[in-house]
Chain A
Amino acid sequence: DTGVSQDPRHKITKRGQNVTFRCDPISEHNRLYWYRQTLGQGPEFLTYFQNEAQLEKSRLLSDRFSAERPKGSFSTLEIQRTEQGDSAMYLCASSWGGDHTDTQYFGPGTRLTVL
């Protein structure tokens, strides 16, 4: 396994369109996190899954955002009716619950540009 992968790496869309991103975690990891990173800032937490259950959502995750993790494997993050303020890097991370430090390993991110 080569690590966390994300697809697409770049997405350009027009305001009002819907977009969907995919994250494939490290295979034995049962926890999956989504973060958003804007220019000049550190990543900010969006939501978290343990297996297929979405256990926590940040206040940053407006009702236009939805995330799923069917069967506890890959995850998708959908943004409906995109706005220019949604332009950011969307990072996915995974971790193994048996590690008490819950060290998270990150994917390369999907850079979203909303025109």
Chain B
Amino acid sequence: AQTVTQSQPEMSVQEAETVTLSCTYDTSESDYYLFWYKQPPSRQMILVIRQEAYKQQNATENRFSVNFQKAAKSFSLKISDSQLGDAAMYFCAYRSAGLNSGNTPLVFGKGTRLSVIA
């Protein structure tokens, strides 16, 4: 079974600075998808960024980018120019992309709580 590990339970960053959240995963599969989700306090989980494993290019969405290292099974999230609204729980998630990929749920890490200091 696949597992996702987020080794940083809590992180903090000064407003306007850059922070990197770590995620590693364990799988024997070669084809899969990786996601970062953001869950603000008492609000719903929203997708931040996604990465297809077959793509070597790292995904980027505005101030959010990933460092995807397939051989190392690492998928870190970099937040640039941090804003107060970035404060939230961040979850890394994995999904298989096999023949029956539509049947595979997301496997989540335990999350990293990010605080942004004004």
Contact = CB atoms under 8 A, between A and B. Distances in A.
B11 to A, nearest CB: 16
B109 A102 contact: no
Contacts of A41: 110-111
A44 B110 contact: no
Interface residues of A, number: 29
A65 interface: no
Interface in B18-38: 33, 35, 37
B23 to A, nearest CB: 11
B44 A101 contact: no
Contacts of A50: 102-103
Given A91-B45, A106-B45, A107-B44, A101 B106 contact: no
Contact of A108 (B35, B44, B102): B44
Contacts of A105: 47
Contacts of A4: 44
10 contacts: A31-B102, A33-B106, A41-B110, A41-B111, A42-B93, A48-B103, A101-B52, A103-B47, A108-B43, A108-B44
